[in-house]
Structure 1
Amino acid sequence: MRPRLQRLVDRGDAWIVDRPGRVVLAFLLVTAVFGVGLANVSTETGTESFSEDLPEQRALDAVTDRFEDPFDPDPQTTQLIQSGENVVSKPGLVRMAEAQYRLAERPDLRVVSTRSAASTVATRLDPAATTLEAQRDVLRRAPPDAVRQAVRETAAENPAFVRLLSRDFNRRSATASATVAVVEHDVPGDPAEQGETGELTRIQRTSQRVVATVGGDIRVFGAGIINDEFSTVIGDSLLVVIPAAVVLLVGFLLLAYRDLVDLLLGMVALGTTIVWTLGFMGLVGIPFSQILIAVPPLLLAVGIDFGIHAINRFREEKTTGADRETAMRRTTDQLLVAFFLVTATSVVGFAANLVSGLPPIREFGVVASVGIVFAFLVFGVFLPALKMYTDDLRERYPGVPTFSQAPLASAESTVGGVLRVGVVVGRRAPLAVVAVALVTAAGAGVYATGVDTTFTQEQFLPPEETPAYLASLPEPFRPSEYTITRDINFLEDSFEASEGDQVVVYVEGPMTRDGALESMARAGDDPPSTFVRDGRRAEEESIVTLVRFHAARDPAFAALVERNDADRNGIPDENLDRVYDALFASPVGDAAETYLTDDRRSARVLYTVQGDAVDAEITADARAVADKYRYRATATGEIVVFQAIADLIFESAILSLALALVGTGVFLVVAFAALEGRPSLGLVNLLPIVLTVTFVAATMRLVGYSLNAFTATVLAMTIGLGIDYSVHVVHRFVDELDAGSDPVTAATATVVGTGGALAGSMLTTVFGIGVLVLAVFPAIGQFGVLAATSVVYSFFSSMLVLPAALLLWSRFVGRETTAAGQVTTES
């Protein structure tokens, strides 16, 4: 190492070895500061944070704000989902009317208005029934035949009524299996804001209890319940994942440390790292989202890796006969540099996610990067100082038992013999080993190009049914009962208004100008293949279709349309203001509000799409149709928004991976040039990482995983996790060369000594991250599987391929040791 850098390391060694008590005290004070931030950590749930910057989402928000739709998740409303009977029979309608009445009678529920099929039928029976109590009483008194006839007549005249009923509604028999009612609340502030969702959740949870007193199958659904369950799933996942990780890691640490005091020191260091990281989030205002569930197990795994290296290397030095102070100086002298290289390259890998166009992935990059830096400080400085401090106490108070202080592996041990395989094979045919690895990686990379990219709401939802292994857990670890996935699936399966098979075109322009409706109608001519056809036109719902619907049933309105229809195609061309006035004043006026705003400057058009079509093709076709509009038109809807996010996920994954590889390579070249005068070792370091990335990507396709909001970070994260193994191997190899060993002896000492610690850290990391498969929603489980897989690949590539690459480097590039033990310059 260069003298100036060595002096900096020596200064750190001196603080750790000579003043351990002061170092420990300083870290405890900093922990107290971050503990304050820990109390301020908030949560953020759902998919909204992924789409907030997209133009498609802004258009969808405008549609949600300006048009009424019973299936839009308006934060001011509660939906009542009724099923389990003929919901338009007299008993079914009475039940719904009673539920509406009881909710409105509760002042704490802040009910402003309600809308339902029951209310519509009641006013059909008696137009004077304007209150919920009167509507309920009208339905109670009406004969069943009269109710049935009112349902038929209302369905024939009012499309908005039909939209409240399930798609199996039969006009002739007046039957339907489900209906939705909408209850609007006056919630203070903006319920979409984090601070107001608690009030909306209280209202909707209370509404559940009120509705349950009515009888029948009426469920409460809304943004408050969605937010509550999204938040609960984070807590439930952490409540399962963290204890499982701790139990597994304690078990592995017992095997690795084989000493109770060292185990406790490692656990204290792990806890300190977690407190610092979560406290940092609270202090800077980063909310805890679903994707950040991966961070605590990640830090636990990386921290344990650092801890095992620190304790194991200290024990190795002790076996040489060195006293405690000398052994710790040698340990920190080497590991501070190795930990710095690992930390810096890990930060490059995680920070590469900052180029993502999706805010939650950027936040993941920030939190993971900061957490790794904290792990470096805690395990590189705090843990060694704490070890020195406690060992001093053990000497003063010899009653504390000391168990095994032996390192994990030695050249004579079985583990050491297994770890030497890479050196044995690499010594005989190093070029063949590297060539086979590169050819295999190239094939894996080609195969990996078939990985899909997806983004769906289901990836964030709790399960519709809790897995049996989670449901069997005792309290408080058993997950809560979730309803939103069941209700969302029910709405999508049962109602025509499901966003799952529709796209939206949001039109902005003066809709009263002559020809505005003609332009809207022409956009649906000769639709693309992913759109459902109605003859030569796309199947759609819009103000145009409502004009035609009402004209077919109202002769006066039909005459108005005909007088202003120049080409006699049933679409008015002139005097559109008068046409709209008549339409909004008619029985279908409520339906008109779902397609045209009151100021007549914005319109919404719904197109039905093929249920089996690919989302990417649907999105491209929707944008092409929007381009045909006369005014500014934006294709949006759940399919379009989620596809836009999926496109960003793919772009972010590729860009962050490229930046991580390039950034890591540049840093390692510069670092090894500055530290050792051997820049070419930086490139050798990259070999296991390149192999690991390609194998992980190929594994994704092999097991059927897609690039999604969670797994998109894995490829760049593979560099952050995997570089640990190659850096430790290369740095130890250089140390052995500098100590006078020949390349083969240096490689053997590296894979036996450092390899033993790497094997232990690999196992703890795999199981520490692998416990994410226990998370309540499966996307995080996929993340855990892939992260654990990347660690396995990194370990084996560092143990089996990297020794051969280092021997090649020594033969053709590196410094060779002379017989006298002196080192020549790099050739």
Structure 2
Amino acid sequence: MDFHWLIDRIDSAVVTRPKTVVLLFLLLTMGFATGFGSISSESGQEQFIEDLPSFQAVEDINEEFGPSFQTETTGTTIVQESNNVLSKPALLDMLKTRERILDSPALRAESVSTPAETVATTLDPAATTPEAQHRAVERATATEIAVAVREAADDPGFTNSLSDDFNRGSASATASRASITHRAGPGAGASGGPGGGSEFPPNRVERIDRLAQDDASNIWVQGTPPDTTGTTTAVVLPAALVLIVLFLMVAYRDPVDIGIGLLAILMTLVWTFGFIGLAGIPFAVLLIAVPPILIAIGIDFGIHSINRYREERVRGLTISDAMSRTTNQMTVAFAIVAGTSAVGFLSNLASAFPPTRDFGLVAAAGIVFTFLIFGIFVPAVKVSVDRARQRYPIPTLATTPLGSESSPLGRLLSVGVGVAKRGPLVFLLLMTLVTAGGGVYATGVDTGFSPDDFQPAEETPEYLQLLPESIRPPERFEYVRINNYLDRNFEQNGQVLMYVEGPMTRDTALEDVHRASQSPPETFRASDRQADTQSIITVIESRAERDPEFRALVERNDRNDNGIPDDNLPVVYDALAESPDSEVSTFLAEDRRSAQVIYSVDGEADDEVVTDDAYSVAASYRASAQPTGSVVIFDEAISLVLESVIDSLILTLVGSSAFLIVAYWTLEGRPSLGVVNVIPILVTIVAVVASMRALGIAFNAINGTILAIAVGIGIDYAVHVVHRFADEYHDRPLYPALTRTVVGTGGALTGSMLTTVFGIGVLALALNPALGVFGVLISLSVLYAYLSSVFLLPSLLVVWERLATDTNTAIPLIDTATDVITGQRHPSKGD
């Protein structure tokens, strides 16, 4: 395949019509910028789990089981703390707060459920208004209140709203929680987002705080989870820019070249963000990692391009000739890097998580944009600027490349070549053992998926308080603080929801539900070998206890006298629905073709065990049954994390290896160079995963892409070394070619590595903890890729030349043994 015509076209355009190229790219930038106005945002863990069958079941349950004309609502949690929240003064605090909330039109409160209300109605069942309930507690003695608390404690709903230290005997607890249900605004959706139900009423936390009475207790209000995407972006990008400018100053040492590099980076970001808007891709938390990745790769391309151009200029070539030679080599190298990186990122399209798929698509598109801008636009600008310097007195502060054989950096980079000359096989054997050991150790890395992955820490670092007020995060995220308090002080009861699909009017439908709940697994709460459930059956039983007429109807249609009707079910449902307080719609769909069954489970049990047990219960249904609930959803997400990691890694390695083999076969006629190119990446992957286990980092929905990214970015370093070596090896013996490659390309790689590690490392400043870990892992993968490319590849290339070419390269371990046996000397091309 002849590709030189394309490179010649690029050379010609860059050298002969640079201003036209620059103008064309600027016009394209303006076109992509039109997509900015269409960018939407998405946050929270829901975006990662919305495609799971168990999550779809929850959506179906929410849609089907409720009133026909359901009012969208939002919720607020109130936490009360004192020496005893069940004491008379604390109860009065909460009842007064409840009364004020219900009386506030702005809060649109439909209900306020609190244990204080339960105590009041237990004292006086006729107290049905907030005022009457307040009077009931106010007039009661401490003994009467204690008796009412003990009586109310028979209700699990009451005790669940009290902290773990609730003592029935002394009628005391240090904390309680209450929930407020608000009617959402006109047209507001329950799903949240701009204009959605989760944001209504506005400023509700502040409003409720002002209404809270805390004479004898502390009352806290928990609103919605904080969205840290905007703050994180505002913190990370400027910090990355500062670090990048500092390293560019070291790499370029020329303000004009720094300006060219920054302009190209800005254009890359404009193209990528414009693509996000034009493609209608929501900007989710994972996409925050895309700009630093593109910045890092763009800087790498820029440094390599400018550095190679300076190498040719130092040798005395003209601007046109130097840039032609630069683009002849660098365009091919950039194309290989862009191709393999794009393959690595596109492998994320196999992920089970929609945001991960979006990340892969956006990152791959960004890599292509980076290739075009730094492979064509930057050389054209550089040619235009240097020609202007010849005509006008524009100062030039630096024209020499980064790194030389005599420099300290050059001597350090030559260590890998020195090892390759003296003992490549010993070194490779040692690295094989280390990598194998690391691989075994890496198999113990954990996987996880938790809402905590998406929440910031309770306290924000002090240095973030130095930021401008417009982007400064709060000193403490109150939502997270209260959430942590609830986790520490309240029992976390578990539930499994069962979404049952089938004709519920069939005579055996309710018997089927009853039979499936018998002899449940150990993690399911049970009484007398019957699972503790809430379902249409419990609604029927409750109504039968209170209504003799309905009880007689049930008995007439109960053929086996177990209290569950198994005949004329439509008639039973119709009679049940006649009650004004009927809960039929909560457990039976309007068309009576599906039902919801709620199981109580051990909140302390392992999620995986509960999920397995839930599916075993589902299998006992004759109808189609899908278990769901937060326990099931997050456990399934955890399993999909590992599955996605493995799938994307396999696709990345296979795709990248195939691409490299074909590329080197086409370019050099040596497909084996593609295999050599992949080996440092395998070492990098093992090192990254082993580091994850050592640092206690688990794979989750966000960092599950890290291995594909490690290949996508890390391949960059190996490609530059191998491609430069192949180019130098045409004209020089092995070891001089290696030295020239490692010192020349290694200088640019070092500048690129430092910029990337610190540029992407600023993600550690992210308020989202998972994103911070993500930045650290990318930085580690780049560091490992750099080290393996600079110090491991020379030995690999020496062995490659011995095995894949006609030369008889000197490899000390082999040749010494051969000389002893045969008494012959084996010269090589490198001698």
Give the TM-score category using the shorter length. 0.7 to 0.9
| Residue number in structure 1 paired with 2:749 | 758
Alignment partner of 2:78: what SS? Answer: strand
Q: Which amino acid aligns with 1:663?
A: G
| Residue number in structure 2 paired with 1:81 | 78
Q: Which moved more, 1:785-794 or 1:92-101?
A: 92-101
| Residue number in structure 1 paired with 2:738 | 747
Q: Which amino acid aligns with 1:205?
A: N
Deviation at 1:341, TM superposition (A): 0.5
Find out whether 1:798 has 2:799 as its counterpart: no
Q: Output the CA distance in 2 between the equivalents of 1:174 and 1:570.
A: 36
Q: Is the 8 A contact 1:711 1:783 kept in 2?
A: yes
1:12 to 1:393, Cα distance in 2 relative to 1, 3 A:
same
1:541 to 1:144, Cα distance in 2 relative to 1, 3 A:
farther
Q: Which moved more, 1:530-539 or 1:45-54?
A: 530-539
| Residue number in structure 2 paired with 1:631 | 623
Q: Which deviations, in whole Å up to 9, do the C-alpha atoms of 1:308-327 show, x marking residues without a partner?
A: 11111111111111122211
* TM alignment of 1:718-733, pairs within 5 A: 718-733=710-725
2:762 to 747, 766, 771: 771
Q: Which amino acid aligns with 1:422?
A: G
| Residue number in structure 2 paired with 1:212 | 210
1:665 to 639, 654, 657: 657
Q: Output the CA distance in 2 between the equivalents of 1:289 and 1:152.
A: 47
Alignment partner of 2:650: what SS? Answer: helix
Q: Output the CA distance in 2 between the equivalents of 1:79 and 1:199.
A: 12
Q: Output the CA distance in 2 between the equivalents of 1:20 and 1:731.
A: 26
Q: Which moved more, 1:30-39 or 1:484-493?
A: 484-493
| Residue number in structure 2 paired with 1:287 | 282
Q: Which moved more, 1:508-517 or 1:209-218?
A: 508-517
Q: Is the 8 A contact 1:121 1:150 kept in 2?
A: no
Q: Is the 8 A contact 1:464 1:483 kept in 2?
A: yes
Alignment partner of 2:179: what SS? Answer: strand
Find out whether 1:9 has 2:7 as its counterpart: yes
Q: Is the 8 A contact 2:74 2:200 kept in 1?
A: no
| Residue number in structure 2 paired with 1:245 | 240
Q: Which moved more, 1:259-268 or 1:158-167?
A: 158-167
| Residue number in structure 2 paired with 1:379 | 374
| Residue number in structure 1 paired with 2:407 | 413
1:768 to 1:21, Cα distance in 2 relative to 1, 3 A:
same
| Residue number in structure 2 paired with 1:619 | 611
Q: Which deviations, in whole Å up to 9, do the C-alpha atoms of 1:630-679 show, x marking residues without a partner?
A: 43321111111111112222111111111111111111111112222222
1:351 to 1:637, Cα distance in 2 relative to 1, 3 A:
same
Q: Which amino acid aligns with 2:180?
A: V
Q: Is the 8 A contact 1:340 1:376 kept in 2?
A: yes
1:117 to 1:532, Cα distance in 2 relative to 1, 3 A:
closer
Q: Is the 8 A contact 1:355 1:652 kept in 2?
A: yes
| Residue number in structure 1 paired with 2:416 | 422
Deviation at 1:23, TM superposition (A): 1.4
| Residue number in structure 2 paired with 1:527 | 520
Q: Is the 8 A contact 2:662 2:671 kept in 1?
A: yes
Q: Which amino acid aligns with 1:438?
A: T
Find out whether 1:361 has 2:356 as its counterpart: yes
1:388 to 383, 388, 391: 383
Deviation at 1:681, TM superposition (A): 1.1
Alignment partner of 1:203: what SS? Answer: coil
Q: Is the 8 A contact 1:20 1:388 kept in 2?
A: yes
1:61 to 55, 59, 62: 59
Q: Is the 8 A contact 1:409 1:756 kept in 2?
A: yes
Q: Which deviations, in whole Å up to 9, do the C-alpha atoms of 1:201-246 show, x marking residues without a partner?
A: 1514245325423333444445xx33xx22xx01111122112211
1:273 to 1:627, Cα distance in 2 relative to 1, 3 A:
same
1:815 to 1:187, Cα distance in 2 relative to 1, 3 A:
farther
Deviation at 1:748, TM superposition (A): 0.8
1:83 to 1:617, Cα distance in 2 relative to 1, 3 A:
same
Q: Which amino acid aligns with 1:677?
A: G
Ranges in structure 2 where 5+ consecutive residues have no aligned partner: 810-827
Q: Which deviations, in whole Å up to 9, do the C-alpha atoms of 1:322-355 show, x marking residues without a partner?
A: 1222111111111011001100010000111011
Q: Which moved more, 1:160-169 or 1:687-696?
A: 160-169
Q: Which amino acid aligns with 2:353?
A: L
Residue identity (%): 48
Q: Output the CA distance in 1 between the equivalents of 2:540 and 2:465.
A: 53
Q: Is the 8 A contact 1:113 1:184 kept in 2?
A: yes
Q: Is the 8 A contact 1:123 1:135 kept in 2?
A: no
Q: TM-score, normalised by structure 1?
A: 0.87
1:590 to 1:426, Cα distance in 2 relative to 1, 3 A:
farther
Q: Output the CA distance in 2 between the equivalents of 1:371 and 1:33.
A: 16
Deviation at 1:723, TM superposition (A): 0.7
Deviation at 1:174, TM superposition (A): 6.0
Q: Output the CA distance in 1 between the equivalents of 2:66 and 2:281.
A: 33
Q: Is the 8 A contact 1:90 1:139 kept in 2?
A: no
Q: Which amino acid aligns with 2:322?
A: A
Ranges in structure 1 where 5+ consecutive residues have no aligned partner: 819-823
Deviation at 1:268, TM superposition (A): 1.1
Deviation at 1:515, TM superposition (A): 5.6
Q: Which amino acid aligns with 2:751?
A: G
Q: Which amino acid aligns with 1:11?
A: R
Q: Output the CA distance in 2 between the equivalents of 1:570 and 1:678.
A: 80
1:727 to 1:156, Cα distance in 2 relative to 1, 3 A:
closer
Count of aligned residue pairs for this structure pair: 801
Deviation at 1:787, TM superposition (A): 1.0
Deviation at 1:511, TM superposition (A): 5.0
Q: Which moved more, 1:528-537 or 1:780-789?
A: 528-537
Q: Output the CA distance in 1 between the equivalents of 2:592 and 2:172.
A: 36
| Residue number in structure 2 paired with 1:821 | none
Find out whether 1:695 has 2:695 as its counterpart: no
* TM alignment of 1:572-587, pairs within 5 A: none
Q: Which moved more, 1:333-342 or 1:385-394?
A: 385-394
| Residue number in structure 1 paired with 2:44 | 46
Deviation at 1:550, TM superposition (A): 8.0
Alignment partner of 2:457: what SS? Answer: coil
| Residue number in structure 2 paired with 1:18 | 16
Q: Which moved more, 1:597-606 or 1:348-357?
A: 597-606
Find out whether 1:735 has 2:758 as its counterpart: no
Q: Which deviations, in whole Å up to 9, do the C-alpha atoms of 1:668-714 show, x marking residues without a partner?
A: 11111222222221111111111111221222122211111111101
Find out whether 1:478 has 2:472 as its counterpart: yes
Q: Output the CA distance in 1 between the equivalents of 2:180 and 2:622.
A: 34
Q: Is the 8 A contact 1:696 1:789 kept in 2?
A: yes
Deviation at 1:256, TM superposition (A): 0.8
Q: Output the CA distance in 1 between the equivalents of 2:275 and 2:114.
A: 48
Q: Which amino acid aligns with 1:707?
A: F
1:749 to 1:331, Cα distance in 2 relative to 1, 3 A:
same
| Residue number in structure 2 paired with 1:339 | 334
Q: Which amino acid aligns with 2:610?
A: I
2:495 to 485, 492, 502: 502
Q: Is the 8 A contact 1:507 1:604 kept in 2?
A: yes
Q: Output the CA distance in 1 between the equivalents of 2:341 and 2:191.
A: 35
| Residue number in structure 2 paired with 1:437 | 431
Deviation at 1:746, TM superposition (A): 0.6
Q: Output the CA distance in 2 between the equivalents of 1:578 and 1:491.
A: 45
Q: Output the CA distance in 2 between the equivalents of 1:407 and 1:472.
A: 38
Deviation at 1:734, TM superposition (A): 1.0
Find out whether 1:234 has 2:229 as its counterpart: yes
Alignment partner of 2:498: what SS? Answer: strand
Q: Output the CA distance in 1 between the equivalents of 2:156 and 2:552.
A: 21
1:612 to 1:435, Cα distance in 2 relative to 1, 3 A:
farther
Q: Which amino acid aligns with 1:527?
A: P
Q: Output the CA distance in 1 between the equivalents of 2:121 and 2:625.
A: 37
* TM alignment of 1:677-716, pairs within 5 A: 677-716=669-708
* TM alignment of 1:24-39, pairs within 5 A: 24-39=22-37
CA RMSD of aligned residues (A): 3.7
1:613 to 1:463, Cα distance in 2 relative to 1, 3 A:
same
